Chain A
Amino acid sequence: MDVKDIIKEENLVYKKSAIITDNTMHYCPGCTHGTVHKVVAEVIEEMGIQDKTIGVSPVGCSVLAYNYLDIDWQQAAHGRAPAVATAINRLYPEKYVFAYQGDGDLASIGCAEIIHACNRGENITVIFINNAIYGMTGGQMAPTTLEGMKTATTPYGRDVKLAGYPLKITELIAQLPGTCLVTRESAESAVAVRKLKKMIRKAFENTGKKKGTSFIEVVSTCNSGWKLSPVESNTWMKENMFPFYPLGTMKDI
């Protein structure tokens, strides 16, 4: 049997979402961003909301997210995606608006914007990629960098006396009455991805029902920044990130 005999419509079990463009992704092999992009695209396609969805991309490795998902996008200044998303949501309350942000973007420079957008209960979805590092600028310490973790700006490991403690911003956000769904997920296995997809779908459905802010943290890897192979990164994440950033839903109303 020839391979051509196998590649047939009736044998299709999985295909790239129509929302994903044909552009070559710039992400490093093993990076979590690409997986999460795929999941977001699938949810948009399955819900049939391409024409109603507006994404807001951050400054960080996912700044170019607009090259990969075939929807309308706005690229926000560093940390300001929740403010940009606020206005889009207020001006187009019937649309599905989501902000996609890294940990430096969301939990450091954009700390005020995310807290206040969530506190106002803006009817948006926030997808928060926590890879515990500034991936884009070459691996500096992020607010979520673990104690003792080596980065370009903590070459001897994060010393909490010098640099403060890793910030569990998702726990903070779960306290805010404006949020309706706050959950911490991951994307390192098929099971995790399926769970993540369920949550992203739920978040978008919340937006459709105007329930307030849905916030999804994805504990992620940055093998380039961490200087580990993709496989080692997943192991390191499970052994070090998961104990400090435990997976699970903090709020779902």
Chain B
Amino acid sequence: MGELRLMKGNEVIAEAAIRCGCDGYFGYPITPQSEVMETLMARKPWEETGMVVVQAESEVAAINMVYGGAGCGKKVMTSSSSPGISLKQEGITYIAGAELPCLVVNVVRGGPGLGTIQPAQSDYFQAVKGGGHGDYKLIVLAPNSVQEMNDFVDLGFELAFKYLNPVMILSDGIIGQMMEKVELSDIKPRMTDEYIAKNHGSWATTGKPGSRNRNIITSLELDSAKQEKFNHKLQAKYAKIQEDEVRFDTYKAEDADYLIVAYGSSSRISKKAVELARAKGIKVGLIRPITLFPFPVKELNGFAKKVKGMLTVEMSAGQMIEDVKLAVECSIPVEHFGRYGGMIPSPDEIVAALEQKIIGG
């Protein structure tokens, strides 16, 4: 059993980064995630593990620092909230295009624009459908607890290095700010230079020894035929991720007549809604996508054969619902219930929406 602590989701991101052997964090303050960098600066990991922490001049600079660090074969990350993540899109698409591993945490707040500092899930499209330019995908992990904020840092880096692809933890202001009991991960040492040379030496810029060709980190290819071929390679990688990395969770879904589909904070609230509905005699279950890309397409499609309808619950005007509809191929009714702009749905509202939009409909 690891060390138990009572911590905020944001604080745990920092703690987990240090413990998993992260080499560098580059960030810029924004509510509701500023505790990530504040915790790191207070912890001074450079004295403990040698991890570098830099407060950059902007999110644009921070994500380009991540590019530079990732290009060195190091474990590097950044975190921000919605407006800052918009600024990071340039760097994120370059990182995807250069096939570099990194971790980006988005503690989502309501928008559009400066919006609100309150929690939301309105960045689903941006996270899952690209966000920046070009045909690329992030691996997107959606935690619904402080424990998962901890666990997904290490998992995120593991997936990032496995696929040489940026990974996003798509959290929200509730999980970032709330305190829960968390079992911290064991401490992993940082990668040594020898490890990097052995495992990432074929691409990382570490200074060119006589024994190998020069390594070049770039996303540029002026020859269209080669660029198309490279895109095919990326698509094959995404297909493999879709095949192998789907993660999801269910709650009382086996005997359900109806399913709620929700991720992150909404899934916590929806769990309570399932209990309320069941107390009323309605057989409802919950499916919680943990990976938003890869989305649990097959799994949802399977459930569509067993249930009469699905309700997506999101703190947005309805974004994930598009993927749910595609997954069930319109074989059953799929409706959306959302509160947004920083408002949080209540379990009662969810049950009422279920009765009105799915059962009554």
- Binding stretch for chain B, among A67-75, A165-173, A177-185, A238-246: A67-75
Q: Does A63 lie within 8 Å of B69, measured CB to CB? A: no
Considering only residues 7-49 of chain B, those with a C-beta below 8 Å from chain A are 23-24, 26
Q: Which residues of A contact B215 (CB under 8 A)?
A: 72-73
Cβ distance A18 to chain B, nearest Cβ, rounded Å: 11
**Which listed residue, A53, A72, A84, touches B65 by the CB 8 Å rule?**
A84
CB distance from B15 to the nearest CB of A (A): 21
CA distance A90 to B52 in the complex (A): 7
Q: Is B56 an interface residue (CB 8 A)?
A: yes
Any chain B CB within 8 A of the CB of A92?
yes
Whether the Cβ atoms of A88 and B205 lie closer than 8 Å is: yes
A75 and B65 within 8 A (CB): no
Chain A neighbourhood of B301, CB < 8 A: none
User: CA–CA, A211 to B69, complex, Å?
Assistant: 21
Assuming A75-B216, A80-B60, A83-B56, is B205 touching A51 (CB within 8 A)? no
A54, A80, A113, A116: the one contacting B205 at CB < 8 Å is: A54
Cβ < 8 Å to B, chain A residues 73-91: 73-77, 80, 83-88, 90-91
A34 to B61, CA, bound (A): 28
B209–A91 touching, CB < 8 Å: no
Q: Does B346 contact A (CB under 8 A)?
A: no
How many residues of B sit at the interface, in one of the four size bands?
35 or more
Q: A51-B208, A91-B23, A91-B52 are in contact. Are A73 and B64 (CB under 8 A)?
A: no
**Which residues of A lie under 8 Å from residue B54 when comparing CB positions?**
86-87, 90
A149-177 contacts to B (CB < 8 Å): none
Say if the beta carbon of A127 comes within 8 Å of chain B. no
Q: For chain A, which range describes its interface: under 10, 10 to 19, 20 to 34, or 35 or more residues?
A: 20 to 34
Least CB separation from A84: chain B residue: B68
Q: At the interface, yes or no: B206 with Cβ under 8 Å from chain A?
A: yes
Q: How far is the CB of A158 from chain B (nearest CB, A)?
A: 27
Bound CA–CA A66/B69 (angstroms) = 18
In the complex, which residue of chain B has the Cβ closest to the Cβ of A63?
Answer: B220
Interface string of B53-95 (1 = CB under 8 A from A): 0101110111011111101101010000000000000110010
A50 touches B (CB below 8 Å): yes
Contacts of B94 in A (CB 8 A): 77
B72 touching A91, Cβ below 8 Å: yes
The answer on a CB contact under 8 Å between B68 and A87 is yes
> Do A72 and B68 touch (CB < 8 A)?
no
User: In this complex, which of A63, A70, A86 has the most chain B Cβ atoms within 10 angstroms of its Cβ?
Assistant: A86
Of listed B52, B61, B215, residue having the most chain A CB within 10 A: B61
**Among all A-B residue pairs, the 5 with the closest Cβ atoms:** A87-B68, A84-B68, A75-B218, A72-B205, A83-B64
Additional 5 contacts, C-beta under 8 A, given A74-B71, A74-B218: A54-B207, A72-B215, A73-B216, A75-B217, A92-B206
A-side interface residues toward B, CB under 8 Å? 50-54, 56, 63-64, 66, 70-77, 80, 83-88, 90-92, 95, 112-113, 115-116
